[in-house]
Amino acid sequence: MKKRSLGVIPASYNWSLEGLSAFGSLEELILDNNLLGDDLVLPGLPRLHTLTLNKNQITDLECLLDHLAEVTPALEYLSLLGNVACPNELVSLEKDEEDYKRYRCFVLHKLPNLKFLDARKVTKQEREEALVRGAFMKVVKPKASSDSVAASPKSHYTPLPSASRELTSHRGILGKCRYVYYGKNSEGNRFIRDDQL
């Protein structure tokens, strides 16, 4: 049987993914850079083994993975780079390597048949960790409701007591220090000569 692939679909087209249901034997699908969001709905694609959703607008990782587990049971290659759901330190300065490791563990927990995730081969160690800890690696963000934000009064926090803010009530301490710093244990001073001071 011939292998079918739709290839890259340009983002400029206004299209729906409903038409993919006609391609029941589709094996590869590249949907990179198509402004797809959390409302992504794929039809049942039982033979799909490769899916790339790079550089889209996907933020809800768990919802996406549950949907993919349901409609793409043969999925082995998945790439989500460039989405908010994929914590990549190259894209976001707030993320680090540990965030990415937790993400991989959670994805492998939800989709245990994956062989490659984000252009990196899934290792045996990652697969074992996903079995043990994967369910606990979900990143949960607290949702701020508009009621709680409006109800909380703005506090003007200051680390200083209110009495010490006035110039007349200053209470300083003056004393002698017994320790004298000679600098002989300082690493920086070992390279400075007397003629350079």
Q: For the structural domain made of 5-136, what CATH number should be given?
A: 3.80.10
When pLDDT is cut at 50, 70 and 90, the band that residue 113 belongs to is very high
Amino acid 50: pLDDT:
95
Write down the pLDDT at residue 80. 93
Q: Which residues pair with 79 in a beta bridge?
A: 52
**pLDDT for res 181:** 64
Burial 13-26 (b: 16+ CB within 10 A, else e): eeeeeeebeebeeb
pLDDT for the residue 98: 85
* Spans of all domains in the chain: 5-136
